Amino acid sequence: MRTTKERHSITMSPLAWTILNKLKAIQKKSISSILEESLMRMVKEEGYNTTYFKIMASASECNDEENKELAEILDSLKEEDLEVAEEYELEDKDK
């Protein structure tokens, strides 16, 4: 599956940029791939709730108060809150 990419500008220290360029040569990957993989690894290792980020990425803009309220609710979710409670098989009406 191909993911759409967007162009963004970032700033970083000269040392970080040098390290990224060295990693690019060693790993034979683009800097954007290295940054994206590192970010996803950090999210997983730090135990962030990926559902929170998925929801926030697809949600329309809210005011600061709404954002705070939503963030608090999503941050309070536990793994068991995300477990499938029941499954249903849908029937095809055309059969």
Kindly state the tokens that stand for 7.
């162009």
Q: Per the confidence metrics, is the pTM higher than 0.75?
A: no
- The pLDDT of residue 56: 74
Q: Among candidates 63, 62, 59, 39, which has minimal Cα distance to 51? A: 59
- Long-range (24+ apart) CB contacts under 8 A made by 51-58 are 51/77, 51/82, 52/77
User: Higher model confidence: residue 92 or residue 87?
Assistant: 87
Contact 72, 62 (CB under 8 A): no
Average of per-residue pLDDT across 31-57 = 87
- The pLDDT of residue 93: 67
- The pLDDT of residue 2: 62
SS3 at position 76: coil
- The pLDDT of residue 95: 58
